[in-house]
Amino acid sequence: MDSAPSLSSPRPVYLPEGEHRRVKILVAGPLGVGKTTTIKTLSQIPTLHTDEVMTDAAIGTDDLSLVGMGDKVTTTVAIDFGRLTLPGDRVVLYLYGTPGQRRFLPLWEGIAFGALGALVLVDTRRMRESFEVMDLIEERGLPYAVAVNIFPDSPDYDMPLLRSKLDLAPDTPLVTCDVRQTNSSLNALIQLTAHSISSAGAKTS
């Protein structure tokens, strides 16, 4: 995994002085893949979360029998939100976590408006769950990077095989990470940001 700059300095609540490029980024993926944890890990401000307890109404809609879902008791029903100033203080990222279920599609489309790109989280124990999310992002024409969140019992795939299984375009960034670790998540976000800015530049050239 590529190394990432450290965020060991104190986390400011207010933006530093000077000019900044403000960028809206989506953090997407299926239910239980680690979106809320990613934003909690990266945000420099107190995060906003709209989690609700899952009830019997989810039976038949959300499949909690999938691997890794056994202790899932809440789900995001609107957004997660956080903010991160990248090292150098020139780019400020506004991080929006999106619900992973298709029934939230109208809300997802509203959140996606104006986004520069998306970080798609993948669990290799249930990769097929991520295809629907990637399809939605591709339909909107958003550039995205894929971050494989490593769980203790995740299958061990090499990167070329992962890229093949996920059917990714050659220029789509693909990294592995532990979303509980700041530098690991930051590395994925930096790769997405560079890819998104590059893609935006290519469209306007």
pLDDT tens digits in sequence order for the chain, 205 residues long: 444 444 444 455 677 677 888 889 999 999 889 999 999 999 999 988 765 554 454 445 545 555 554 554 555 456 899 999 877 767 889 999 987 666 667 778 888 899 999 999 999 999 999 998 999 899 889 999 999 999 999 998 999 999 999 999 999 999 999 999 999 999 999 899 899 888 887 776 6
Cβ pair 121, 147 in contact under 8 A:
yes
Query: CA 90 to CA 79: how far, in whole Å?
Result: 25
Which of 67, 60, 66, 39 is CA-nearest to residue 51? 39
Residue 94 has a pLDDT of 94
Place of tokens 């609107």: 78
Query: CA 117 to CA 143: how far, in whole Å?
Result: 5
The pTM assigned to this predicted structure is 0.79
Cβ pair 35, 76 in contact under 8 A:
yes
End-to-end CA distance of the chain: 31
Residue 193 has a pLDDT of 87
Residue 121, SS3 per DSSP? strand
Which of 145, 147, 159 is CA-nearest to residue 193? 145
Residue 69 has a pLDDT of 47
Query: CA 5 to CA 92: how far, in whole Å?
Result: 15
Residue 127 has a pLDDT of 93
